[in-house]
Homo-oligomer: A and B are copies of this chain.
Amino acid sequence: MIKPLISLASALALSAPLAAQDAALSSSSAVGQTETPAPSPNEIVAAAAPDDWVQIAPEDLLVMTLAADRDGNARQVVIQLMPPPFSQGWVENIRLLARERWYDNISVNRVQDNYVVQWGDPNYDNPEATGEAKPLPQGLKVMGEEGYYVDTSGKLADGLAGAVQDIFESVTEQRGQWRDGEDTLPRTGYYADLESFYLGWPIGASESEPAVWPVHCYGMVGVGRNYSPDTGSGAELYTVIGHAPRHLDRNIALVGRVIEGIEHLSSLPRGKGDLGFYADFEADKRTPIVSVRVAGDLAPSEQPRFEYLSTEGESFARYAEARANRRDAFFIHPAGGADICNIPVPVRRVVSE
C-alpha cells in the first residue's frame, strides 16, 4: 500500500475528527524525504497547548437530532451559536424556539448543491408547501437589517467599545503575522477591507464604513428571510454546503456554525424543485428533525463539550500561516496566501475522562 493520494492536502473540515486526521498525517511523515518537511497545519493544531483551547459554553451549543437514516443510524448535528456583538437578537430567538420545542418535528426542506441546506416548517415560505404553517411562539424579537453587521462608528462611547476595538486589533495584528512567508502575496479582501478572526469566528471589517461582520464560510448557519425589510425570525435556518457565498455577507443574519455532524446535512439528496427545495413528488425526502435542544438545558451527563483553538493565540497564528504557506511534505508550491474561509477554525469535541 502506497501513500493515500493528496493526503496532506487534506482540509481541516469543521466537522472532521482531528484525531483521525492527525493519525493519517503521522504515518505520512514516515516517508523518506530529503529533509524534514515543515509541520502541517493539523500537526500544529495537535501540538497546541491545552490552554490554547477555549471551551464553548453549553448555552451556546444546539444539539439537533435528525431522524435515523435508512439504515437506522443515528444522526446528530451540533451547532455553535454566535457570541456578542453579532446577531444576538436572532440568537436569542433561536434559544427561545428551541426551548419552546418549536423546532421539533420540522424538517430539512431544501438541499441545493454547492449552496445551502435549509430547514424549517415545510409549510412556511416553501414553494412546495401543501399545508398550513406552524404558529410561532410569542416573544420573538423583530430585528432590523442593521443587525447584519456591527456599525462601529460611535461605538467608543458605549459598552461595545472593547469588543469592537479588539476585533480591529485582532484583524490587523494577525494579518501582520501571516505575512512572513517568502511567497506571501497581498492579502487584501475581495469582500472586505480586512478579514480575520475574532474569538474563534471569521470576521470581515471595513475601516472606511466603518463596520465589522461575520462571514459566510462553509458550515456557517444563517437565518432564512423574505425580501427586505423582512430579516427572518430564526425559525428558518440554513447552513452553507459549498463554496463560501460571500455575496450573502451583510445581507442576511449569521447566527452560528455547524461544529459536528455537517455530513448528515451535506450528503442529503439534492432537491429537484426550484432552488433545491424538495419537490412535491419527492416530499418523502425531507429529513425529519426530531428535536433541537440548547446543550445547557440537557442533563450534565448528556451535554456535549466542545472547544475551539483560540484565534488570539500563538498556535492559531502558526496554523493560519501554515494554511497560507503549505510547506509540508505533499506541497511543492506554497500558495502564499489563503482566503479566510480556507482557514477553518479548529474545533474539537472534549471527551470526558
State the A residues within 8 Å of B (CB). Answer: 1-7, 9-11, 13-16, 20-21, 23-24, 31, 33, 70, 111-116, 118, 120, 124-127, 129, 145, 148, 185-193, 217-219, 224-228, 232, 236, 238, 242-252, 262-263, 266-270, 274-275, 277, 323, 326, 329-339, 341-342
Candidates B7, B227, B262, B274; contact of A113 at CB < 8 Å? B262
Task: Give the copy number.
Answer: 2
A-B contact pairs, 12 of them (CB 8 A): A5-B120, A9-B251, A111-B267, A191-B335, A191-B338, A228-B332, A243-B243, A247-B334, A251-B332, A263-B269, A266-B266, A266-B267
Q: Using Cβ atoms and an 8 Å threshold, which residues of chain B touch A217?
A: 243
Given contacts A114-B11, A333-B251, contact A243 B227 (CB under 8 A): no
Q: Using Cβ atoms and an 8 Å threshold, which residues of chain B touch A148?
A: 333
Contact B338 A247 (CB under 8 A): yes
Candidates B15, B114, B336; contact of A218 at CB < 8 Å? B114
Q: Using Cβ atoms and an 8 Å threshold, which residues of chain B touch A252?
A: 6, 9
| Nearest CB in chain B: distance from A146 CB, A | 10
Candidates B185, B193, B224, B243; contact of A341 at CB < 8 Å? B243
Q: Using Cβ atoms and an 8 Å threshold, which residues of chain B touch A3?
A: 125, 226-227
| Nearest CB in chain B: distance from A115 CB, A | 5
| Nearest CB in chain B: distance from A308 CB, A | 17
Known: A13-B113, A114-B219, A247-B331. 19 other contacts (CB 8 A): A1-B126, A4-B126, A6-B224, A9-B247, A9-B248, A10-B275, A11-B245, A13-B242, A24-B127, A31-B227, A113-B262, A186-B188, A190-B337, A218-B243, A242-B242, A246-B339, A250-B333, A251-B326, A267-B267
Contact B4 A275 (CB under 8 A): yes
List the B residue with the shortest CB-CB distance to A116. B6
Contact B112 A1 (CB under 8 A): no
List the B residue with the shortest CB-CB distance to A217. B243
What is the bound-complex CA distance between A114 and B232, given in angstroms? 27
Q: Using Cβ atoms and an 8 Å threshold, which residues of chain B touch A120?
A: 5
| Nearest CB in chain B: distance from A23 CB, A | 6
| Nearest CB in chain B: distance from A264 CB, A | 9
| Nearest CB in chain B: distance from A161 CB, A | 24
What is the bound-complex CA distance between A14 and B323, given in angstroms? 27
What is the bound-complex CA distance between A148 and B127, given in angstroms? 45
What is the bound-complex CA distance between A127 and B219, given in angstroms? 28
What is the bound-complex CA distance between A186 and B191, given in angstroms? 9
Candidates B4, B243, B277, B336; contact of A242 at CB < 8 Å? B243
Q: Using Cβ atoms and an 8 Å threshold, which residues of chain B touch A113?
A: 13, 15-16, 262-263, 266-267
Q: Using Cβ atoms and an 8 Å threshold, which residues of chain B touch A323?
A: 247
Q: Using Cβ atoms and an 8 Å threshold, which residues of chain B touch A228?
A: 330, 332
List the B residue with the shortest CB-CB distance to A245. B11
